[in-house]
Every structure is written in C-alpha cells, then in structure tokens.
Amino acid sequence: MTMAGRFRRNRMRKYCGVMAAIGLSVTPAIARGEQVFDVQAGPVGSILVEFGRQCGWTIGLTDPVLAGHRSGGVKGRHTPIQALRILLRSTGADFAMLDARSAKVFATREHRVQPAFVSRPLDGEPTPVILVTASKQQTPLARFPGTVTVVDLNAADPSSSAAQGTAALVTRLPMLSSTELGPGRNKIFIRGIADSSFNGASQSTIGHYIGDARLTFNAPDPDLNLYDMDRVEVLEGPQGTLYGTGTLGGIIRFVPNAPDTTNLKGSFTTALDYTSKGSIGGDGGAMINLPLITDRLAVRAVAYGSIEPGYIDDPSRGKSNVNQTNTKGGRLALRWQPSTDWTVEGGFVVQDIASADGQYVLAGTPDLTRATRIAQPFDNDFRLGYVTLTHRAGSVSVTSTTSIVRHDITTVFDATPSNPAAPTSQYDEQSNITLIAHETRISGATNSFAWVAGVSGLYDKNRFTTALGNLSGPTVKNGVENQIEQIATFGQVTFCPNCKFEFSVGGRAELTRSEGSLLERAQGDVSEPSRIDVRLSPSLGVGWHVHDGLLVFGRIQQGARSGGLAISPLGDRTTSKRFQADILKAVELGFRAGSKETTRAWLSATLSYAHWTNIQADLIDGAGLIYTTNLGDGYIVGVEAQGGISPVAGVVLDGALFMNSSALSDPVPEFDTSRDRDLPDVAATGARASAVYSIALSSGRVVSIDGTVRYVGPSKLGIGTPFALSQGRYLTSSIALNYALGSTRLSLAIDNVGDVRGNRFSFGNPFGFAAGNQRTPLRPRSFRVAVTRSF
C-alpha cells in the first residue's frame, strides 16, 4: 500500500472513531422505570389523553373510529408500555412506538376500516395527530410551515405496490419525476429541481433516507422495496438547514414499521404478474416480528423478491422479453428498550437489482423492438448497516445515528458504431461507493416553543471507472475517484408568540474537504489538491393559523452541492476537469386546509420560485462518454395542489396537480447558443386523479374498487442539441379490485388499461441517442393477482 493509501486509511479510521465517540457520549446509565397508573374506564379517545398526561407520553390516534371504542382502563404499577397494552385490550387497537415517549395507536388489521372510507370525527372527538418526523422535531402536519406529503403505506394493502419501490411514489405524486432508465438506475427529482438525465459524478439533488440513516450521496435512487413500510415522507426543498449538502430538491424519507416488543406478528404476500406482449413474473414478501423479551427486546425481519416481466424483443439476436428485472432483498431490525426513556435500534438493509437488458426501443422498428449486437445488463447492489440511540427526558429527546453504506453499480452498453461493418464494441461503467454518515441531535418542545440542534459528519468515497473497446481488441480504461469529508452543526427554533402566528429560524454551517484524482492520468496531470469549503444554509419560515384546520405558510431556504473532479469531455480521456459547487435559493408560499384523515374535504396548494447558481450536470460528450460540468444559472417556478373530498361514507375522490416552468437563464458559453433552455426531465404539467368506492358486506367482508388516471406532460431530455429530444405527453390509467376478509386480502389490479405506448424517456444508450430515435415506452397493459395474509 502506498503512503497516500495508508494516510487515507488512517484518516478514515480516525473519522469513524470521532463519529462513534459522539454517539457514545450521549449514553448515560440505563434503568428500567415503572409508575403507578390510575386511568378510569371510558372511550379510547379520552383515556389515551389521560394516559399521556400521567406518564408524559405523546399518543397519536390514527383511526378516528377507535376513539369511541371502550377501554377498561388501567390501575396499578406498570411500565408505560405494559399500561398501554392493558388499556388497549379488547378495543380492536394496537400501537407502535415512534420513539421512547411517543406512540401511534391504530386499528388491528381484523378491525381496520380503510381510512379512506372512515367517517370523519364528530364534534368533541379527538382527531388523529399526523407527525412529520422528518422535521426532526416531531412537528404535527397541521403546524408544519412547508410543503410536505405523508404517504401512509399501512392505510391500504401494504403489498399492493411494494415491489415497484420508488416508482410507486412517482406515479402517485406529480411533484416527483424520474429519469425512467429502469429500477435502480433512476435519478429522482422533486418540484422540478432537475440537473440532467445521465448518471455521473455529480451529487443527487435530493436526499434519500430510511429512518435517520442516509442512503445515498452521489448515486442513483437505490429503489428500495416498500414491503412492511409504515409511511414515506416527502419534504420539498431545499432542506439545507436540517439535512445539509445535496438536498436542493428536498428529501424522501422511508419509515419502516418498527419492531414491536409486545406482540408476535407476521405477514406474507404472493403475487403473479403478466404483461401483455411480454412475459410472466411475480413478487412476494414475508415479515416476522418476534418479541424476545416482552416490552424490552424485539426483532423484525423482512424478506422479499420480484421478477418484473420483460416486454421488449431483439430480433437481431433472436431474443424475446430481454428487459426482465430481478430484485431480491430484505431488512433486519432490532429494537431494545432497556427502560422507558431509552431505545436502541439497529439493523441491516440488503437489496440486489439485476436487469438483463435496457428498456428502450428504436423508432421506425416494429412495436416494442430494437436491434443491438450485445446484451446491456445493469446491476445495483446496495448494503446498509445502522444504529440509532434515542433518549427521552421529559420534553427533551436526544437521537444519535451512525450508518455505513456500500453501493456498487455496474452498467454495460453496446458501443458499436452504426456502420454495419464495424466490429462489436462494449462499454463498461462501474461505480463503487462507500458512505459513512453520523448525526447526533437534541430537540425539545413546549406549547409555544420548539427547537432542535445537532452535529453531523459524513465521509463519501466514489470510485467511478469505465472501459471501452472491441470485444476482440484492446480495452481503454479510465476513471476518477472523488472523496468528500464533511462536518456540520445545525439548529432551528420555532416559536409562536400568540400561537396564531409561528416563526421558524434555522441555519447550518458545513465544513467540507474534497479531493479527487484520475485513476489513469496523462503525463503532467496530477490529482486535485485538497479543497476546503465553508457553507452556510439559513432558513426562515412563518405559519399563520387562520382558523382551526387552515394554515397559511411561507418559507425561504438555501441548499448547495459540493464540487468535484471529472474526466474531461472528448479528446484525451486521461485528463481531468473540475466542476464547481452549485447553490439553490428558494421561496415558497402556500396553504393547507384540512386533511384526508380528519375532514371530509381537504386542499393544499403551493407557489414556489428557485434561483439556481452554477448548475452541475452530468452530460454525454460526442463520443458517448459521461462527463460532469457546470451549465450556468437558471430558475424554476412551480405551482402544485393536492385535494379531495369524501362526499359520502365509502367514497373518496382526490387529485393532485403540478405545473413547472424552468430555464437556463444565464448559461456558460458552451450552451449560450441553445434556443431550448428548459431544464431536463420535468414535465411542464403533471396530474393525477383517483376515485375509490368501498362497501362493507356481512361477516366483516369489505370490497373496494380503486380507479386512477395519470397525465404526464411534455419535457425534454436535456438542454440544446443533441439533447433537446421530446418525451412525455401521455395519459395512462389503472384500476384495482380488492376483497378483504379478516386478515386475508385478495386483489386484482390492471395497469395501463388503455395499453398506451407513450414515451417515458428519450434515452437508453449514450452511444446512439444522438440519432434521436430512442424511446422508452410505457409498460404495456399488465395484470397482477395477489393474496396477502397476516397474523
């Protein structure tokens, strides 16, 4: 090992040691706590309020119907967890811990009525409290001064769209968009903040999290399966104050169902998929929750797998349905509650995605076909390990999380020139990423004041290598390695002088050290010297509670991405080029009236404007090879709205709309002559509407029908020639029929009912896209039959 290598290894060890010390420094002695309870019998809604008062817990009741169910109360000396379990006996309710002193109470599956069809709370009944845990302050949704969407995955069939991963969110939320390269290959964008269609050295514009563990830094979306997920929170950006570098568009936070220390639980799903003009596939998953020590220790394990049917043929190679994708993975979580004030959680996430070939076709060829010399497989292997310590003392809580990610991505392209006599060429691209992240924060709240403060650290190393050559000839290899080390401190306070108006002020200071080097260097080209950058990310928000259920809000915030080193475009690929940091400043104004869980009608809308300086982008040069550069300055204007109504019991109508206008307003000279300067991959308009009808039959049977229509407007692949290729402009629909009897659920779903082709994306192979004839069609009409069973 070289001296430089030993130095980097020692520095990494020191970094890990510092992060571990920060986490351990918040761990005092642990003790088990019991107390005397005296909660009289009565309606669940009332006794939970009294229970929370006696033990200082925060309880969220997510199903309003439960509020009227009767509880026998609880008396005597118990731990709070034991007391809550006694309170909920024979009420049809269960609970899950959110942290050491917060719990969510919900209907058990056999007593659950789908929330979409629940009658709204009567006057005087307690309403459910929806917490935005991604705010890091347990902020109720009704008081959160910003644009946020909480998708409750436990509210419906938890397995209906699990295998689709992030794609299920993109189809549900118009403000999300995707590059549609395929599972595990996509960039995800929020609110039109999109840099480019290609995957290179630049950092993602959004942050991906599972719980408090960071999933990515400069990698595509890992596309985790959603099986046994509790909910997903989408916070629109920038979110620089709380989440730091690389959250220009916002964050997507996945929240799995936590291990339950009181009850043995399990579930499984099996499904069969068929794609017309394609093949047969399927998916399945299983979960087991084992309390090892009642009220103290539990483990929850999830395993899943799927075969996504292919539907594209390659007659030149005699192959059918070449774009099949196989996914397998699982999660293991351990929860230890040594006392009522302490919680230790740790676990692993493992997932492998393997696509046999690309999912694009060529215009002018027969339906759903293309011709290539070789297969173009893709592989995405993701590994995560994490541990979180939480301590609650009264209204103050301390949370410390450390996570380690290993992410390996491999792509193969057919690089053969269009000349029929040219020899077959292959391009291999590999990204190997190591990400270590840590955060320790402390937060607290009173009736009129909430605050959070913390420190964080991050280490990211990305080794990006390429190889290009004839199958029978020599291969040209090159690559670049970027390393980021970052420490930060942040804080935010929210106060309401009269609780009619709320003000939020925050800031983050980050110190970033970056270093890059080419793996194959030309004579005289040396590794980039270490660079130190200091950035501030301030935020300011205000909320006006016009009346109960109506919040008007405004927010100003800033975010940034670090710079780095990339391979130079064209010419000698053994020379380097640095790309600079970019900064995004945004302002948003909006309102939120009611919610699906509490009122018969609900509506929210937001107007936003963002100015983006020195935009980073991954591009393709004239030889078809990836490079990273800065485009110049641009802006994004967005309007979005979500709303719905439940006119009668059993019927819910809802919809969402997003409109976007963006442009590269002050380009660098390379793009100054481009007439089409719209930022890429975000449709000018997106909309979704759905209608759900449910009817309860005898013996606890429930039948529901769910129909959805989705429109994706026009967008462009990129800026200027040859990137300004049109995509989008399609309307698709789906319908699902569900039958539930106790803990068993059967479902039949049809996607793309009209068998629409459309064009999701104008790119599949960088060595041929300049011809302008590549298309990524919608998956043809497909059918899914599934059965889910839980206990």
Instruction: Give the number of other CB atoms < 10 A from CB of residue 733.
Output: 16
Own/partner long-range contacts of 496-500 (Cβ < 8 Å, ≥24 apart): 496/448, 496/449, 497/448, 499/447, 499/448, 499/545, 500/544, 500/545
Distance CA 81, CA 341 (A): 11
In a domain, 441, yes or no: yes
Checking DSSP bridges between strand 42-43 and strand 361-362, what pairing results, if any?
A: unpaired
Longest dimension (CA), the chain: 87
CATH of the domain at 710: 2.40.170.20
- Pick from 668, 671, 469: nearest CA to 573: 469
pLDDT for 615 equals 95
Q: Is residue 26 part of a domain?
A: no
Report how far Cα 702 is from the mean position of its chain's Cα atoms. 31
Its sign, for the CA torsion 272, 351, 266, 103, is: negative
Per-residue confidence (pLDDT) for residue 542, from 0 to 100 = 94
- Whether 99 and 392 have beta carbons less than 8 Å apart is answered as yes
Residue 487 sits in the same domain as residue 511 = yes
Say what the pLDDT of residue 434 is. 97
β-partners of residue 461 are: 434, 483
Is 13 in the same domain as 49? no
Residue ending a domain, choose from 80, 113, 129: 129
Q: Identify whether residues 76 and 217 lie together within a single domain.
A: no
Q: What's the whole-model pTM score?
A: 0.84
Query: Do 500 and 460 reside in the same domain of the chain?
Result: yes
| pLDDT tens string 621-662 | 877 888 889 999 999 999 999 999 999 888 999 999 999 999
pLDDT recorded at residue 148: 87
Whether 49 maps to a domain, the answer reads yes
Are residues 587 and 472 located together in one domain of the fold?
A: yes
pLDDT of residue 529: 67
Note the pLDDT of residue 111. Answer: 45
Cα angle vertex 204, ends 203, 207, to 5°? Answer: 120
Q: Using CA atoms, how far apart are residues 35 and 80, in angstroms rounded to an integer?
A: 8
Burial string for 589-618 (b: 16+ CB within 10 Å, else e) reads ebbbbbbbbbbeebbbbbebebebbbbbbb
Residue 477: what pLDDT?
Answer: 80
Name the amino acid, one letter, at 337.
Q
| 529 φ/ψ angles, rounded to the nearest 5 degrees | -65, 155
Q: Give a yes or no: residue 222 inside a domain.
A: yes
In a domain, 194, yes or no: no
Listing DSSP states for 143-191 in one string gives G--S-EEEEETTSS-TTSSGGGTHHHHHHH-TTEEE--S-TTT--EEET
Instruction: Say if residue 727 is in the same domain as residue 632.
Output: yes
Distance CA 701, CA 557 (A): 49
217 and 300 share one domain: yes
Q: At what angle do helices 44-55 and 80-87 cross, to 10 degrees?
A: 170
Of 549, 623, 637, 659, give the one whose Cα is nearest residue 588: 637
Q: Do 535 and 625 reside in the same domain of the chain?
A: yes
Name beta bridge partners: 291.
298
Considering the domain boundaries, does residue 159 fall inside one?
no
Rg (CA), the chain: 26
Query: Structurally, how many domains does the chain consist of?
Result: 2
Nearest residue to 289 (alpha-carbon basis) of 301, 277, 307, 276: 301
Stretches where the chain sits below pLDDT 50 are 1-4, 7, 11-12, 14-32, 109-128, 158, 571
Domain end, chosen from 129, 146, 174, is at 129
Tell me what pLDDT residue 18 has.
40
Same domain as 239, residue 98: no
The confidence score (pLDDT) of residue 574 equals 58
388 lies in the same domain as 511 = yes
Residue 72 maps to a domain:
yes
Same domain membership, residue 490 and residue 380: yes
- In terms of phi and psi (left: phi > 0; alpha: psi -120 to 50; beta: otherwise), the region of 161 is alpha
Instruction: Give the per-residue pLDDT at 659.
Output: 96
> Which pLDDT does position 213 carry in this prediction?
95
CATH of the domain at 75: 3.55.50.30
Same domain, yes or no, for 239 and 380? yes
3-state secondary structure at position 16: helix
- CA-nearest of 527, 496, 493, 519 to 507 is 493
Domain of residue 405 covers 3-18+203-553+568-790
Question: What per-residue confidence (pLDDT) applies to 573?
Answer: 55
Q: Which of 129, 161, 187 is the last residue of a domain?
A: 129
485: in domain: yes
